[in-house]
């Protein structure tokens, strides 16, 4: 169970953020098919998006699925410069080398496949692709071209051909 407090759980001065509590419930459940993901996270406020970005950064890099879920939700709400900066940050992250420890290559049996290891960046690219802002989308793709993750570079090449 994820237990956060202070700024990490939305226990901000203005009180708990219900969207952050809902996000935590979904992350704890590990249910990627939870209908609330597509239904209850539309139109996030700038403050809530900032809290989601903070939550992303607080999660261990090895928490690929949880990080990808947050990127997905923020990608549903793209609009501000901070939103696009975050997507560029995600696609520019250093590669995760192993699900056991992103900073170290693991044994072949514990590494994870390259799509799983690159999951947050792949989600960021797909969310950018859906957006209407062509200039920002191009900036995200450009940032991803420098990725050291093969799965990310392949997706960029495919998206550029579309």
- 65 has a pLDDT exceeding 90: yes
pLDDT tens-digit series, residues 97-144: 999 999 998 776 555 688 999 999 999 999 999 988 999 999 999 999
Residue 17: the pLDDT is 86
Mean pLDDT of 79-90: 96
Cα 141 to Cα 147: distance, rounded to the nearest angstrom: 10
Mean pLDDT of 14-18: 69
Neighbours of 27 (CB within 10 A): 20
Residue 115: the pLDDT is 92
Read off the pTM: 0.86
Residue 1: the pLDDT is 35
Closest CA to 121 of 82, 142, 95, 85: 95
């Amino acid at each position: 169970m994820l237990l956060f407090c202070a700024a990490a759980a939305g226990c901000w001065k203005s009180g708990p953020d219900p969207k952050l509590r809902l996000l935590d419930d979904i992350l704890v459940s590990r249910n990627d098919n939870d209908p609330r993901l597509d239904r209850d996270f539309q139109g996030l406020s700038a403050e809530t998006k900032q809290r989601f970005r903070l939550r992303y950064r607080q999660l261990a890099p090895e928490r690929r699925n949880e990080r990808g879920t947050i990127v997905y939700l923020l990608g549903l709400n793209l609009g501000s410069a901070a939103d696009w900066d975050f997507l560029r940050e995600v696609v520019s992250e250093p590669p995760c080398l192993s699900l056991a420890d992103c900073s170290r290559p693991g044994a072949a049996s514990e590494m994870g496949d390259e799509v799983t290891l690159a999951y947050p960046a792949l989600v960021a690219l797909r969310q950018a692709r859906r957006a209407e802002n062509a200039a920002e989308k191009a900036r995200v793709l450009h940032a991803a071209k420098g990725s050291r993750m093969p799965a990310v570079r392949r997706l960029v090449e495919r998206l550029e051909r579309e």
